[in-house]
Every structure is written in C-alpha cells, then in structure tokens.
Amino acid sequence: MESFKDYNFSDEINSALDALKYHEPTKTQQACLHALLEGKDVAVEAQTGSGKTLAFGLTILQKLLDSQAHSQNEQAADSSHPHALVLCPTRELAEQVTYQLQLLARRIANTKILAVFGGVAIAPQLSSLKHPPAVIVGTPGRLMDIAMQGRLSFKGLKTLVLDEADRMLDMGFEDQVDWLLKAINDQAQGVQTLLFSATFGGNIQSLSAQYQKDAQTIQVDDGRTHQHIEQTAYKVLANRRAYAVAALLSEHQPESAIVFCQRKQEVVELHQQLQEDGFGVVQLQGDMEQFERSNAVLLFSADCANVLVATDVAARGLDIPSVDLVINYSISDDLDTHTHRVGRTGRAGLKGKAITLIDDTDETKLIGFNAQLPSDIPVKSGLALRFHKNRIREPQYVGVQIDAGKKQKISKGDILGALAKNAHVPAKDIGKIHVSSHRSFAAIKIRSVKRTLLMFRESKVKGKRLRAKKLV
C-alpha cells in the first residue's frame, strides 16, 4: 500500500499531512496523484468524497512551492494573478474546499486561499483580491462577474480545477464556465487543467476535449457502498453543545436517537439536562452498574425512551436496533469509531441521519474523516438551531419491571395473558416483553400503565403475587 511519503512532497506539505493524520492515500488519490504531479491534464471520474480535494490540493500547493523556489517574487508581482483557480458549483462546496486547502497550506508561509461566491456582497471579495491570493476557489457566476469588471486576471495561472464538473453543468453554469475557460486560454499559457466529475456524460467529454490537452482519463471504482445515511456537521460553541442536542431532537423529532459522547461525565451531564428539558432519555456509561446498563438498553430498545445518551460502549456489540438519528455530541478520535457510531442508523438499507457537533478544535478531525469517507460531511452553522419544548416527541411506551422471571417459572405468555385477561390491556398497548432469570419487563402504552400496576397489586399471576413498578 502506498504512503504519502512515496510522492516526494515538500517538508511543509508532509508536515501538514502528518498533522491532519493523512498517511495512506485513498484509491482515487493513488489512481491520479502521479499524473497530477507530473503536470498532465487529467480527467477523473470518481465518487464525490473519494479524496479528490486532497489530490488536487496537494498538486496545487506542491506546484506553488516549486514555482516559488524558482522565483521568490512571482506571486507578489500582481495581486490579481492567482497561481491556481478552483471552480465549484455551489457556495457550500467552495467554502469546504477553501477550508480544506487552508488546512493543508498551514505550514506554507504567506499562502492566501480565497473563497469567491455569489449570494453575498461582492465588495468584501473585491477588497480581498487587493492582496495577492495564491489560490482562488469560487463559483462560476461570481468569478465571471469579477473578471468582467477587470478585477481579476488569469495571466499567471498555472493550475485550473473544475470540481464536480457534471454538477456545474447540470446547474446551468455551462455559459459561465465556457466564458471563464476561454478567458483563461486567452490570458495564460501552459495551464494544467484538472477535471473531476462523478459521471462522464457527453457534455463532460466535450468540455474535456475542448479545454484539456491530451488529457489522461482516470475512472475510479473505489468499491465503497453508500449507506443510506445523511451526514451533517454543525459548528457550535463548546458551551452550547447540550442546547444544540435539544434543538436537533426537537427539530427532527426522531422516534429513536442515540447521542454519543466521548467521556462518561459528558454522558451524565447531558442526560440530566435532557431529562430536565422533558425528553424521554436514558444513559449508558461505564460507571453504571450492570443492571442499570441493562435496564437502559431494555428501555431504549422497547421504545420506552427514545433518546439514549452513551459513550462508545453503545457503538457496537449491543442489541440495539437501527435508530432514526445519531448525534455525535463530541466527535470521535478516529474514523473507525465514527463509522461504528454512525452505523447505528441507516441499517438494512433504511434511511438514516447522523449529525456531528464540532467546535474550532474539532475541525481538523472532521477534515481527516472527510478524506476517507465516501461522501464529505458538510458543515453548517449551529447559530440558527432553536430548541422548541412543545416539539418534544414522547416515547410510545412506559417500562414496567416485574420482580419474577424464569427461575419463578414465569414466561412471556404468562405476562401477556395476565395483562389481557386480568388488566384488560388491549393488545395494541402491549409492546416488548422480556423475561430474564429473576426479573421480567413489559413495555406498556401510557394509557394502560395504571391498570397494569393495579393488576399486579391486586391479582395473581400463575398463583403468585408479583411486585411491579415503573422503570425510569
């Protein structure tokens, strides 16, 4: 297996890769990096999120360093002469690519990477262009507007990247892309043009044929299967994480959700806060007694609590069914753990959602995950999240614990029969029944809990008086 050390990157880039914990290139990166670094025009067909941003980012920055080694003043000659230009179809992707390149360039002095996109005031972007940007990442429409005003020259351009080219054309940017590519051809010489697309339809092939020179086409099937999981990250203040969890739960109203925390104390504190907020919540962490942990899993799996706050003990090895929503209260230390957490939703081909809360200190981890995941996790601002107490989803059932089990010759049928005959509980009000050695459990809908407890106080089951109580 290849390592990034095999590509002879500069010390600055290798240091950044180590800091980001990028050690082994993805299949897509292995397929295209050698050709990219050799300066060839390349057209890559690969899934979104397969590591393409890192591939062209490494190429751009290594070429920038090589160029600076030959001419220290090349970038300072004219503030409107970017070394590289990356075209993206959307503002969100432009922001994401800019951020990833900024992380990669942290060890390279005086390297400005600027995002330029529509939907916001143009004046601040024009002001930023007065200072020499080494790399501009932008959307076609806004870049065209700026170039037409004479505020952006492509004279010194060395690398052009068309990211998610198929999506750009699908969104109706064909005219703007065509205008920009013609302007670049007119102004710059020897530009390396890199095209990345999830599909290679006729329009993409035509684009490549017209604007790339002897392009090497690379098609990558990375063998990954896309789970039906929608992943999102929200950037929040560290002291607002609990509020963000409550807001997300009230917004999405999942029938079941797991909130993963890194530390046991986080679990305890968040569990208490969500209880005070009014959620049906249980906790699972290492300091709990085994019977407490068993009860928590039982209540959650039987829909007697629809929120489970847990450490990574709940990420694997527990009999918990697929859930509607996973929230990472704190991001995991490694991708394997993150994958196990997220895998609690979207099982068996079902759709699922996973949300990760991050702050400034977590962003490097997220970028590292994105380099290895089938799809990048988009980042949204958590400032707009609002908790609505009147939108809390109540659990379907209440857990009733019965102080008798298999050792007392009690079976599921005995409990079900007593509930139906003696307590007159409708069958649709009876959920999961579980019988262990010395205790039993029954999930009962709220409207039938009183008659259930009354039945155990006043009636016998198989000739025995059994004590029962609500589990909370």
| pLDDT tens sequence across 446-471 | 999 999 999 999 988 988 899 999 98
pLDDT score recorded for residue 225: 41
Residue 57 lies in a domain: yes
Last residue of a domain, one of 356, 391, 426: 391
d(CA 343, CA 406): 34
Instruction: Give domain status of residue 224, yes or no.
Output: no
CB 338 within 8 A of CB 328: yes
Give the β-pairing of 257-260 and 192-197. unpaired
Whether residues 161 and 48 fall in one domain: yes
pLDDT of residue 78: 44
Number of domains in the chain: 3
Task: Please report which confidence band the pLDDT of residue 142 belongs to, taking 50, 70 and 90 as the band edges.
Answer: very high
Q: Is there a single domain that holds both residue 283 and residue 422?
A: no
The residue with greater pLDDT, 269 or 96, is 269
Angstrom distance (rounded) from CA 445 to CA 222 = 47
Is residue 169 exposed (0-12), middle (13-18) or buried (19+ Cβ within 10 Å)?
buried
Residue 423 sits in a domain whose CATH number is: 3.30.70.330
CATH of residue 155's domain is 3.40.50.300
Q: How many CB atoms lie under 10 A from the CB of residue 285? A: 22
Q: What is the pLDDT of residue 202?
A: 76
Q: What is the pLDDT of residue 99?
A: 84
Q: Do 125 and 207 belong together in one domain?
A: yes
| CA-CA-CA-CA torsion sign (364, 266, 250, 227) | positive
- pLDDT for 75: 45
| pLDDT tens figures, 419-448 | 999 999 999 999 999 888 789 999 999 999
Quick one: 200 and 165 in the same domain?
A: yes
Is position 228 within any domain?
no
User: Which among 219, 271, 224, 227 is positioned nearest to 249, based on CA atoms?
Assistant: 271
Full residue range of the structural domain in which residue 296 is found: 233-391
The answer to whether 400 and 469 are in contact (CB under 8 A) is yes
Give the Cα separation of 88 and 163 in Å (integer): 5
Nearest-angstrom CA–CA distance, 147 and 151: 6
**Residue 371 pLDDT:** 87
Instruction: Pick the closest to residue 385 from 354, 353, 345, 357 (CA basis).
Output: 357
pLDDT band for 138, please (50, 70, 90 cuts): very high
Nearest to 84 by CA among 20, 164, 138: 138
Mean pLDDT computed over every residue of the chain: 88
Share of the chain above pLDDT 90, in %: 59
Angle at which helix 174-187 crosses helix 140-148, to 10 degrees, equals 50
Q: Which amino acid is at 323?
A: V
Element (H, E) at 231: strand 229-235
Per-residue model confidence (pLDDT) at position 404: 93
What pLDDT is recorded for position 50? 67
Rounded Cα–Cα distance for residues 102 and 88 (Å): 16
**Strand ranges of the sheet holding 440-445, from the earlier edge strand across to the other edge:** 430-435, 440-445, 397-402, 468-471
Average pLDDT on 182-211 reads 89
Q: How is 284-338 classified by DSSP, letter by letter?
A: E-TTS-HHHHHHHHHHHHTTS-SEEEE-GGGSSSS----BSEEEESS--SSHHHH
Lowest mean pLDDT among 43-47, 152-156, 274-278: 43-47
| Tens digit of each residue's pLDDT (9 = 90 or more) over 352-402 | 899 999 998 998 899 999 888 777 899 999 999 999 999 999 999 999 999
Residue 226 covered by a domain: no
Rg (CA), the chain: 28
Tokens of 382: 């958590």
* CA nearest neighbour of 452 among 431, 424, 472, 471: 424
Question: CA angle, 377 as apex, 319 and 225 as ends, to 5°?
Answer: 60
Q: Are residue 406 and residue 370 in the same domain, yes or no? A: no
What is the per-residue pLDDT across 197-211, written as a single tens digit (0 to 9) for each? 877 877 888 899 999
For residues 459 and 365, state if they share a domain: no
Q: Categorize the per-residue pLDDT at 348 as very low, low, confident or very high, splitting at 50, 70 and 90.
A: low
The pLDDT value given to residue 420: 92
Give the mean model confidence (pLDDT) for residues 58-79: 72
What percent of the chain clears pLDDT 70, i.e. is strictly above it?
93
The verdict on 457 and 412 lying in the same domain is: yes
Do residues 256 and 201 share a domain? no
Asked which of 363, 391, 419 is the last residue of a domain, the reply is 391
Of the ranges 89-103, 106-120, 306-320, the best mean pLDDT one: 106-120
